[in-house]
Amino acid sequence: MIRTMSDSGRSDKKLAREAADGIAIQALGFIAGDPELLPRFLDLTGIAAHDIRRAAGEPGFLAGVLQFILAHEPTLMKFSEASGIAPQDVGRAMRALPAGEDGYEISS
C-alpha cells in the first residue's frame, strides 16, 4: 500500500530522512564495534572517542559517517553484509542527510 501525506501525516522527504538517520546510526554502531575501523574513523574525523555522542547531534556528522563507509568499498560491502542494507541504499541515505556546514576554511 502506498501512503500519501494525508495517510501518514508526514512527507516522503521526512520518511526518507528518518530512514537515512537509521542507516547512519547503524553504520556508526558498525564502526564503533570494529577495532580496526574505529581508530581510522577517529583519526580521519579528528573526533575523540568520548565526543562521538555529542558530535552525532551536529549537522553533517551522520552524513560523514556514511561517507566514511562509502569511501572504502571493502568496508561498504562488510557493512552491507552485516546490516542487510544494500550498498546503493547507503549512498541514497547519505544523500538524504544534511551535509553540515558548507562555509568552512582550509588552513595551510
Query: What pTM was computed for the model?
Result: 0.78
Q: Is 88 part of any domain?
A: yes
Render pLDDT for 23-32 as a digit per residue (tens, 0 to 9). Answer: 999 999 999 9
CB 65 within 8 A of CB 24: yes
Q: Is 45 part of any domain?
A: yes
Q: Which domain holds residue 34?
A: 13-96
Q: Is 108 part of any domain?
A: no
H, E, C per residue of the chain: CCCCHHHHCCCHHHHHHHHHHHHHHHHHHHHHCCCCHHHHHHHHHCCCHHHHHHHCCCCCHHHHHHHHHHCCHHHHHHHHHHHCCCHHHHHHHHHHCCCCCCCCCCCC
Q: Is 101 part of any domain?
A: no
Q: Is 103 part of any domain?
A: no
Q: Is 102 part of any domain?
A: no
Render pLDDT for 34-88 as a digit per residue (tens, 0 to 9). Answer: 999 999 999 999 999 999 989 988 889 999 999 999 999 999 999 999 999 999 9
Q: Is 7 part of any domain?
A: no
Locus of grid cell 528518518: 18
Q: How many domains does the chain have?
A: 1
Q: Is 44 part of any domain?
A: yes
